[in-house]
Amino acid sequence: METIRVKDRDFKLFLPKEAIQARIAETAQRINEALADKNPLFLAVLNGSFMFAADLMKHITIPCEISFVKLASYEGMQQGGKIREVFGLSERIDGRTVVIIEDIVDSGKTMQQLLDSLNTRNPAEIHIATLLFKPAALSCPLTLEYVVFEIPNDFVVGYGMDYDGLGRNLDQVYTVVPQ
Ligand code: IMP
Ligand code: MG
């Protein structure tokens, strides 16, 4: 089994590139069928989704647009919670069909805050496409329509996702080896 080292931890190959590409093509096909006449606006959440967004969009064959957003984090005043605000969104989204492209939904809090923020701009509908979903970690109710892989609640790296800033460039997904 292929093992790599990222910073100070070992990771083993979890999702090989062929499997990632095959499942992304299937997910794109579902989106093509469901949103054919909606001229969707894809919103890729940087940094983590850059590889997934690029590969997914190569298989989207319907009329569509794509834009990129970042989530700026700051410590909230209440309960010391982290608040994340969307920035970089220059397009109007009122009345639009929006498809969020994310790398991973873990607790779901990031996605929930993104939805809350986008919903204040009156889109017609918002769909979610995420490469990975950890069902066991989810702490808020979310409807995830386009999940490429459901995975166990273990830390992963690669294919856009980082460990302390490192590993985003890997073309496969690796899971941490317990110490
Ligand atoms: P959530 O708000 O708990 O759903 O966390 C989502 C964000 O945490 C993702 O967009 C990632 O940036 C990061 N994240 C969660 N799990 C992992 C992981 O296993 N590896 C790398 N980043 C992760
Ligand atoms: Mg992310």
With a 6 Å cutoff on the Cβ, whether 113 touches ligand 1 is no
Selected catalytic residue, list 106, 154, 164, 171: 106
At 38, the pLDDT band (50, 70, 90 cuts) reads very high
106 is catalytic: yes
- The per-residue pLDDT for range 92-149, each reduced to its tens digit, is 999 999 999 999 999 999 999 999 999 999 999 999 999 999 999 999 999 999 999 9
Instruction: Give the closest residue to 48 by CA, choosing from 163, 151, 149.
Output: 163
CA 119 to chain CA centroid, nearest Å:
18
Ligand nearest to the CA of 106: 1
82 has pLDDT over 80? no
Please tell me the residue having the least CA distance from ligand 1 atom 16: 106
CB-proximal residues (5 Å) to ion ligand 2: 48, 103
- Give 176's pLDDT tier (boundaries 50, 70, 90): very high
Whole-number Å distance, alpha carbon 49 to ligand 2 midpoint, is: 6
Question: Is 160 touching ligand 1 by the criterion CB < 6 Å?
Answer: no
- For 69, half-sphere exposure in the C-beta direction (CA atoms, 13 angstrom radius) is 27
Q: How many CB atoms lie within 10 A of CB 123?
A: 18
Higher pLDDT, 74 or 89: 89
Cβ(87) to ligand 1 under 6 A?
A: no
Atom index in ligand 1 nearest the CA of residue 161 equals 21
Query: Residue 102 in contact with residue 79, Cβ under 8 Å?
Result: no
What's the pTM? 0.95
Round the average pLDDT of the chain to a whole number and report it.
Answer: 94
Ligand closest to Cα of 162 equals 1
